[in-house]
């Protein structure tokens, strides 16, 4: 269920960011939904729209998110205030166990 929800959410992100370059390095080969705060360790943010953006495979997989550069790109996209808010959430509310009901809601929201 968690996996299915992530697949649907990530597809939404790729559609939302279609035509954008990699949030971290600006590559035009960006085709993955990459997390700023990784799913592992920050499960509460795994479905947060600010936390997931279009990224290239190089940054997402081989540079483990290329987080320092990700932050710079994210500030350009949502502003310093938004990033600070996200970082605040990451420190106060890091881990979340998603219930089946919540996952169903997310699927419903992002499926179309």
- Choose which of 27, 31, 43, 67 interacts with Zn ion (CB under 5 A): 27
**25 or 90: CB nearest Zn ion:** 25
Neighbours of 33 (CB within 10 A): 21
Using the rule CB under 5 A, give the single segment among 17-25, 31-39, 92-100, 103-111 that binds Zn ion.
Answer: 17-25
Residue 52 touching Zn ion (CB under 5 A): no
How many residues belong to the site for Zn ion (CB under 5 A)? 6
DSSP 53-112: EEE-HIIIIISTT-HHHHHHHHHHHHHHHHHHHHHHHHHHS------HHHHHHHHHHH--
Which of 59, 25, 93 has its CA nearest to residue 85? 93
- Choose which of 8, 52, 54, 56 interacts with Zn ion (CB under 5 A): 56
* Contact residues for Zn ion, defined by CB under 5 A: 22, 24-25, 27, 56, 59
């Amino acid at each position: 269920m968690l996996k299915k929800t992530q697949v649907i959410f990530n597809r939404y992100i790729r559609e939302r960011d279609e035509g954008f370059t990699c949030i971290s390095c600006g590559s035009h080969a960006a085709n993955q939904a990459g997390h700023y705060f990784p799913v592992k360790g920050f499960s509460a943010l795994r479905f947060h729209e600010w936390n997931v953006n279009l990224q290239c495979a190089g940054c997402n997989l081989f540079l483990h998110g290329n987080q320092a550069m990700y932050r710079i790109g994210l500030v350009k996209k949502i502003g310093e205030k938004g990033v600070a808010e996200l970082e605040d959430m990451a420190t106060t509310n890091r881990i979340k166990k998603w219930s089946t009901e919540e996952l169903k809601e997310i699927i419903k929201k992002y499926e179309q």
